[in-house]
Amino acid sequence: MQKIIKDGVIQDCDLNWIQDQEQAVEALAGDQKAKAIIPLNLWLDDAHDTSGVAGIWIDSTESTEPLAGKDLSELAVIGLNFLAFADGRCFSYARLLRERLNYQGEVRALGNFIPDQQGYMLRVGFNGFQFNESVDIEKALLLHKPFSVAYQGDVVDPRPVFARR
């Protein structure tokens, strides 16, 4: 079974990130619905009954704006998919999920991010890391938190350095 890092611990990944729209529609009717992480668009589409899914995922090319005003408390996971690791849009999305939309569940990194980005990712609100399968997750865990102090306030500690000095 694939592993993830969640809250700083390596765990089994027991949820199913479904990237394909049609497969996601099928999953809504199947017995694995409660484990499905489905595309944002599908979740927003009233034609489908998406209640009871584990979560949704948002692509780099999308945004968190459609989530404004929605009840996110039913979602155990919101995944953010890195198209490329240098595509930093998901850093803003994670922060907006936490600070603007007050989302309390797991914010999971998906796709092409790299282990060396975890430090920044933790600070903007990610707490789940589902690496590409080529990544050695034990080694990735060693890179989880490269800094013990920071200048800016962040999701972990909203106080900027001038409020901590």
Partner 1 sequence: MHKYSFFVYSNFDKVAANIICLLSGCSNMYQYDAIDQQIVEERVNQFRDQTQRFLNNELPEAEFLPLRLQNGLYVQRHAPMLRIAIPYGMLSSKQIRKLADISRRYDRGYGHFSTRQNLQLNWPTLESVPDILAELAEVQMHAVQTSGNCIRNTTTDQYAGVIDDEIVDPRPYCEMIRQWSTFHPEFAFLPRKFKIAVNATESADRAATQVHDIGLHIKKNDAGEIGFKVIVGGGLGRTPMIGTTICEFMPRKDILSYLEAILRVYNQQGNRLNKYKARIKILTKALGIDEIRARVEAEWEHLKGRENTVPEVEFERLQSFFTEPAYKALSNNPSSLTEKLSQSPGFARWYERNTFAHKKDGYRIVTLTLKKTGIAPGDATSEQMDLAADFADKYSFGELRVSHEQNLVLADVEQEQLVELWEAAKDAGFATPTLGLLTDMICCPGGDFCALANAKSIPIAQQIQERFDDLDYLYDIGDLDLNISGCMNACGHHHVGNLGILGVDKKGEEFYQVSIGGASGHDASIGKIIGPSFSEEEIGGIIEKIVSVYIDNRTEEERFIDTYRRIGIAPYKEAAYAKNN
Residues found near partner 1 in the complex (CB under 8 A): 63, 85-89, 91-93, 95, 100, 114, 116-117, 119-121, 123-124, 139, 143, 146-154, 158-165
Nearer to partner 1, 35 or 89 (CB): 89
Helix (H) or strand (E) holding 89: helix 89-95
> What is the Rg, in whole angstroms, of the alpha carbon atoms belonging to the chain?
16
Nearer to partner 1, 19 or 63 (CB): 63
Q: In angstroms, what is the minimal distance from the CB of 143 to partner 1? A: 8
Nearer to partner 1, 16 or 153 (CB): 153
What is the distance between the alpha carbons of residues 162 and 157, in angstroms, rounded to a whole number? 13
Q: In angstroms, what is the minimal distance from the CB of 90 to partner 1? A: 9
What is the distance between the alpha carbons of residues 135 and 95, in angstroms, rounded to a whole number? 25
CB 50 within 8 A of CB 25: no
Q: Hey, how many other C-beta atoms are within 10 angstroms of the C-beta on 111?
A: 21
Q: In angstroms, what is the minimal distance from the CB of 159 to partner 1? A: 6
